């Protein structure tokens, strides 16, 4: 892999890579890339580029990742891709980026897992069990991709075993009393309404931020048909997370009235304009600020969705009804997520059978 030196008019010396390769259609092509400060940088560029054209397991993990992300970009939503890139850039590439994928074995995977399990931040807090599971799943997905497309014999993550847990041991939620204490302490009308919608509908924050006046139906229902996201400065309206996420949900009278009153005060708003013009980060900051000020245990914005589900369970609604309201793809998702909130349901069933036999 030769690299060549050239000199600018200013007298500064730089390097360039000059090579040929055969693309996936079988056509031979020429690459000449200038502007490298060192010979090593030019050679590294050529190696990385040729790796990405290869279908062999004898390529660097960083090259595999580049191809994996390019492929997935055509198949996944931008928000999913953004999350993938963050995990890969911060948790995978620093450890495996310079290694060949064929050299990544179970021992290396275990050592990587142990480092993440042992990590503590400035407050001595570890990564959550669910986050560790998510990160581990991402590495496994990439290695599965290598098995399918780069002739890697086996996925080393399988033999190494997993880390973390699929769901948290405890779910952070607020009761209705706790939520009302929080809501009453918010001074900004837009923020207060946004949080009220989240708590009393269980919708996702992206669904909330995508709402327009046209989505608030006169039948006192909300038509949830899109997701809002801002990625690298670009505002996006995306299809709902799953087909079942596109849904119409009924809302209580007080919430419908509050929404209509708020919209009436927004000068010049059109039917297709967003009702709320802040970002999710603004919700997170306001939630943290207010809850700390009034002494409430901190929870995430997404935990308001769990709080809503918990409230519905307490009110006696069935898992099927809750699944439809939350827009879960299947009732299994609802049961897997909230089964721990039904601790005495089995005993109640047995009690009713006892009563049935006595009668």
- Dist CA 16 CA 41 (whole Å): 9
- Residue 48's pLDDT is 79
- At residue 347, the pLDDT reads 66
Q: Quick one: angle between helices 331-338 and 303-314, nearest 10?
A: 90
Q: Which two tokens stand for residue 129?
A: 């069990």
Strand partners, 49: none
Give the whole-angstrom CA distance, residue 181 versus residue 183.
6
Distance of CA 114 to the CA centre of its chain: 23
Find the helix packing angle between 129-149 and 78-87, rounded to 10°. Answer: 100
Domain 3-158 identical in fold to domain 176-341: no
Q: Tens-of-pLDDT digits for all 359 residues of the chain?
A: 678 888 888 888 898 888 887 776 667 888 888 888 888 888 888 877 777 776 667 888 998 999 999 999 998 989 899 999 999 999 999 999 989 999 999 999 999 999 999 999 988 999 999 999 999 999 999 999 999 998 899 999 999 999 998 877 777 899 999 999 999 999 999 999 999 999 999 999 999 999 999 999 999 999 999 999 988 888 899 988 788 999 999 999 999 999 999 999 999 999 999 999 999 999 999 999 999 999 999 999 999 999 999 999 889 898 899 999 999 998 888 888 887 675 556 666 677 788 777 77
CATH fold for the domain made of 176-341: hpI Integrase; Chain A (1.10.443)
The pLDDT score that the predictor gives to residue 73 is: 92
75 to each of 68, 70, 80, 119, 165, how far by Cα in Å? Answer: 11, 10, 10, 33, 27
26 φ/ψ sector (left φ>0, alpha ψ -120 to 50, else beta): left
Q: Is 300 helix (H, G, I), strand (E, B) or coil?
A: coil
Rg, Å, the chain Cα set: 26
Look at the alpha carbons of 25, 31, 36, 39 in this order and tell me if their dihedral is positive or negative: positive
- H/E stretch holding 120 reads none
Q: Return the pLDDT at 321.
A: 94
Q: What is residue 11's predicted lDDT score, i.e. its pLDDT?
A: 86
State residue 5 phi and psi, 5-degree precision.
-100, 145
Neighbours of 81 (CB within 10 A): 15
Q: Are 173 and 310 in contact (CB under 8 A)?
A: yes
Asked if 208 and 275 touch (Cβ cutoff 8 Å), the reply is no
Query: What are the structural domain ranges in the chain?
Result: 3-158, 176-341
What pLDDT does residue 333 have?
86
- Give the DSSP H or E segment for 96: helix 93-96
Per-position DSSP letters for 125-182, written without gaps between them:
PPPPHHHHHHHHHHHHHHHHHHHHHS--SS-HHHHH---S-SS-SS-----HHHHHHH
Q: Is 316 left (phi over 0), alpha (psi -120 to 50) or beta?
A: left
Overall pTM > 0.85: no
Q: What pLDDT sits at residue 345?
A: 60
Q: How far apart are CA 113 and CA 117, in angstroms?
A: 6
Taking domain 3-158, whether its CATH number is 1.10.3720.10 is answered by: no
């Amino acid at each position: 892999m030769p690299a060549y030196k050239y000199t600018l008019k200013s007298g500064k010396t730089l390097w360039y890579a000059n090579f040929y390769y055969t693309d996936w259609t079988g056509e031979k092509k020429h690459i000449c890339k200038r502007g490298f400060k060192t010979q090593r940088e030019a050679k590294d560029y050529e190696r990385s580029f040729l790796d990405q054209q290869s279908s062999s397991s004898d390529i660097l993990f960083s090259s595999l990742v580049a191809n994996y992300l390019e492929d997935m970009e055509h198949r996944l939503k931008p928000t999913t891709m953004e999350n993938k890139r963050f995990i890969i850039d911060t948790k995978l590439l620093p450890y495996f980026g310079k290694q060949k994928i064929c050299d990544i074995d179970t021992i290396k995977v275990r050592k990587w897992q142990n480092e993440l399990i042992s990590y503590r931040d400035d407050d001595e807090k570890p990564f959550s069990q669910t986050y560790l599971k998510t990160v581990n799943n991402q590495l496994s997905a990439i290695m599965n991709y290598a098995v399918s497309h780069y002739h890697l014999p086996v996925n080393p993550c399988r033999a190494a075993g997993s880390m973390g847990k699929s769901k948290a041991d405890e779910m952070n939620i607020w009761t209705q009393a706790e939520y009302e204490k929080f809501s009453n302490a918010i001074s900004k009308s837009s923020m207060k309404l946004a949080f009220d919608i989240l708590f009393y509908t269980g919708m996702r924050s992206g669904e909330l931020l995508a709402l327009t006046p046209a989505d608030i139906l006169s039948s006192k229902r909300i038509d949830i048909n899109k997701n809002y996201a801002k990625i690298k400065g670009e505002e996006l309206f995306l299809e709902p997370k799953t087909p079942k996420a596109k849904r119409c949900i009924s809302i209580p009278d007080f919430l419908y009235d509050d929404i209509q009153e708020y919209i009436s005060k927004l000068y010049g708003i059109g039917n297709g304009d967003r009702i709320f013009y802040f970002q999710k980060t603004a919700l997170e900051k306001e939630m943290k600020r207010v809850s700390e000020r009034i002494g409430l245990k901190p929870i995430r914005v997404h935990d308001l969705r769990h709080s809503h589900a918990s409230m519905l369970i307490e009110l006696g609604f069935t898992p099927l009804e809750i699944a439809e309201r939350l827009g879960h793809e299947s009732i299994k998702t609802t049961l897997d997520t909230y089964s721990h909130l039904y601790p005495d349901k089995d005993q109640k069933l047995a009690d009713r059978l006892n009563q049935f036999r006595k009668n």
